[in-house]
């Protein structure tokens, strides 16, 4: 218990000055909203957080994990870019959990505990248009000590090409399914590989082991929710194609049964095609390759791609992918006007917690923009995830002990108004720790050189909306609100500190309608559309 003693010292003043948090009214609501999608009976996590006693028994680990941001698992740096459907605890909630533990984790009045969320294996898509399941699969004994990647081939039996508009992956055994990648194979090669093995599926590390480029359709990681494409958009699912589910079973999964299922909502009408592709990758866009990290060394690699001078694109999501010795990621866009648009930063990469991250609003990227990606690898004994002891030379490859440098993007060709399509307008979780704000924002200043106007949340709004913006230096900043006729309706001076800033703007004085909001700072103007509905 000695390693937890500092928590009591740090938070003793909080407990003394404020009402002591208790399980029933303070802590249970936090866990029910943020943690129990994994921490429930049959879930991926090792214990449930639906009852007081189990939370009490694990209270010290919980305090440590939320303080270190290990839990909930959310790799992207929220000080660099906010994403849709984030799994982030508010700073105030972290403080509350630690104060609760420091005070002895009191239970409070159990009659005031909110209703527990209910978790079932039923589809959240309603009635899927296509529901496919892998054959019953018992994880073999080889998975006792080694990770296993098994590919299951499932025919779609579609007589015509359709569009996927909603996707849901349901692990058949959440305690052993670590993650799932869903590919589409139109060549039949995966079916041949599957037929060559007596057991269901076949083993393949990295990709699915076929020639050419299989089409990535979806992915699932713990905490993933069903995903929906924006209206009039879809992922093309070709007639008579096969879906290939590559499932990662971690070591210790041996002799356990799985029956993972994928549910799809489909549309037969022609939709705007959304594609998923590693636009930045170690084969065609690596600047300082080859991707090779000698033993006992670290290395940072750069990838670069310039969009052709054809048409703007609309980004829906970004998903970096690497293996075990990767340590960090950074990716951004530089437009033809030298504006820097942040994409994603991950400061502490963990192979076991990788996913795809959707933008809160769809993101317009002008043609001829330059996409950059940077990844740092640590092939030394100081890296706790290094699979080799002593470290061995690591090069590009499909095995988990090899390395990759891929950044996948979901994208479509731009149409006017795409940047106003809202994917998530829920209030942004406040991650502010005022004592650390300057230190956190300083690295951003060396990367993003122009003001950024991120979010209006909620939008539409009838009372107030939260502005989120970034200033590369401490400089004057104003918000101007115009109607669609170009008439100035309101002007407000904004906080001008370096880094990410926020401001709550009241819309109650505005009439119902659509407005243009301009952020003016450092001689630049950034615009967002605001919809007011009273």
pLDDT by residue, tens only, the chain of 534 residues: 334 444 444 444 444 445 789 999 999 999 999 999 889 887 778 899 999 999 999 999 999 999 888 899 999 998 888 899 999 998 889 999 999 999 999 999 999 999 999 987 677 788 899 999 999 999 998 877 778 889 999 999 999 999 999 999 998 988 888 889 899 999 999 999 999 999 999 998 767 888 877 888 988 877 677 889 999 999 999 999 999 999 988 888 889 999 999 999 999 888 999 998 899 999 999 999 899 999 999 999 999 999 999 999 999 999 999 989 999 999 999 999 888 888 999 999 988 888 889 999 999 999 999 999 999 999 999 999 999 999 999 999 877 788 999 999 999 999 998 988 889 888 888 887 543 333 333 334 445 678 888 778 788 888 888 888 888 888 999 999 999 888 999 999 999 888 778 888 999 989 998 899 999 998 888 888 888 988
pLDDT given for residue 447 in this prediction = 55
pLDDT at 3: 40
* Strand-pair partners of 280: 407
Burial class (CB in 10 A: 0-12, 13-18, 19+), 516: middle
pLDDT at 223: 67
Helices (H), 345-446: 437-445
d(CA 234, CA 228): 9
Instruction: Report yes or no: 519 and 493 within 8 Å, Cβ to Cβ.
Output: no
Q: Among candidates 352, 359, 132, 349, which has minimal Cα distance to 222?
A: 352
Residues of the chain with CATH 2.60.120.310: 130-273
Q: Does domain 283-415 bear CATH number 2.60.120.260?
A: no
Q: What is the CA radius of gyration of the chain?
A: 24
Residue 481 to residues 121, 382, 477, 490, 533, Cα–Cα distance (Å)? 47, 52, 13, 5, 16
Domain limits, CATH 2.60.120.230, in the chain: 283-415
Residue 16 pLDDT = 41
For CATH 2.60.40.1930, the residue range(s) in the chain are: 437-532
The CATH T-level fold of domain 130-273 is Jelly Rolls (2.60.120)
Distance CA 396, CA 441 (A): 33
Contact assessment for residue 498 and residue 522, using Cβ atoms and an 8 Å cutoff: no
Residues in the chain: 534
CA nearest to 358, candidates 343, 345, 341, 373: 343
Taking the C-alpha atoms of residue 30 and residue 271, their distance in angstroms, rounded to an integer, is 39
Closest CA to 264 of 299, 237, 292, 294: 237
CA distance 434 to 441: 11
Task: With CA atoms as reference, report the closest residue to 343 among 392, 303, 299, 401.
Answer: 303
pLDDT at 167: 94
- Beta pairing class for 233-237 and 272-273: parallel
Q: Which residues share a beta bridge with 531?
A: 514
CB atoms within 10 A of CB 157: 11
Q: How far apart are CA 482 and CA 267, in angstroms?
A: 39
What pLDDT, on a 0 to 100 scale, did the predictor assign at position 214? 80
Which CATH code fits 437-532? 2.60.40.1930
pLDDT at 439: 32
């Amino acid at each position: 218990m000695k390693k937890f003693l500092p928590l009591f010292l740090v938070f003793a003043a909080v407990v003394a000055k404020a009402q002591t948090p208790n399980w029933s009214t303070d802590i249970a609501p936090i866990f029910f909203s943020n943690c129990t999608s994994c921490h429930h009976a049959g879930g991926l996590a090792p214990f449930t957080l639906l009852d007081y006693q189990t939370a009490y028994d694990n209270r010290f680990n919980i305090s440590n994990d939320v303080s270190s941001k290990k839990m909930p698992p959310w790799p992207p740096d929220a000080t660099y870019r906010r994403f849709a459907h984030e799994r982030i605890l508010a700073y105030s909630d972290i403080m509350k959990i630690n104060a609760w533990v420091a005070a002895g984790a009191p239970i409070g009045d159990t009659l005031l505990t909110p209703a527990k969320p209910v978790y079932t294996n039923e589809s959240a898509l309603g009635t899927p248009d296509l529901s496919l399941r892998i054959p019953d699969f018992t994880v073999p004994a080889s998975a006792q000590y080694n990770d296993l990647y098994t590919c299951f081939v499932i025919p779609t039996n579609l007589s015509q090409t359709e569009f996927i508009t909603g996707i849901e992956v349901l692990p058949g055994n959440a305690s052993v399914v670590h993650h799932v990648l869903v590919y589409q194979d139109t060549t039949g090669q995966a079916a041949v590989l599957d037929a060559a093995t007596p057991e269901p599926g076949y083993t393949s590390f990295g990709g699915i082991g076929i020639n050419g480029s299989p089409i990535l359709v979806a992915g699932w990681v713990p905490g993933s929710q069903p995903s929906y494409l924006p209206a009039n958009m879809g992922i093309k699912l070709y007639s008579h194609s096969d879906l290939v589910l590559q499932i990662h079973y971690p070591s210790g999964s041996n002799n356990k049964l799985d029956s993972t299922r994928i549910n799809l909502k489909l549309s037969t009408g022609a939709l705007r095609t959304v594609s998923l592709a590693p636009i930045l990758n170690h084969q065609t866009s690596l600047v300082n390759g080859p991707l090779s990290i000698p033993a006992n060394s670290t290395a940072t690699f750069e990838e670069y791609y310039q969009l052709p001078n054809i048409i703007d694109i609309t980004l829906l999501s970004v998903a970096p992918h690497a293996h075990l010795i990767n340590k960090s990621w950074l990716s951004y866009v530089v437009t033809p006007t030298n504006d820097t648009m942040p994409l994603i930063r991950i400061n502490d990469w963990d192979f076991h917690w990788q996913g795809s991250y959707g933008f809160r609003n769809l993101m317009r990227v002008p043609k001829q923009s330059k996409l950059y990606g940077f990844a740092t690898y640590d092939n030394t004994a100081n890296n706790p995830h290094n699979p080799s002891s002593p470290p061995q030379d690591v090069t590009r490859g499909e095995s988990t002990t090899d390395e990759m440098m891929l950044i996948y993007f979901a994208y479509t060709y731009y149409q006017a108004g795409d940047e106003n399509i809202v994917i998530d307008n829920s209030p942004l979780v406040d991650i502010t720790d005022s004592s650390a704000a300057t230190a956190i924002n300083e690295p951003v200043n060396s990367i993003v050189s122009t003001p950024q106007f991120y979010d209006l949340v909620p939008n539409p709004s009838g009372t107030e909306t939260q502005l989120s913006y970034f200033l590369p230096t401490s400089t004057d900043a104003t918000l101007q609100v115009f109607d669609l006729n170009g008439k100035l309706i309101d002007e407000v001076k904004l906080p001008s500190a370096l880094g990410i800033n926020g401001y709550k703007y009241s819309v109650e004085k505005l009439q119902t309608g659509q407005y243009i909001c301009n952020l003016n700072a450092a001689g630049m103007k950034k615009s967002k559309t605001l919809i007011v509905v009273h």
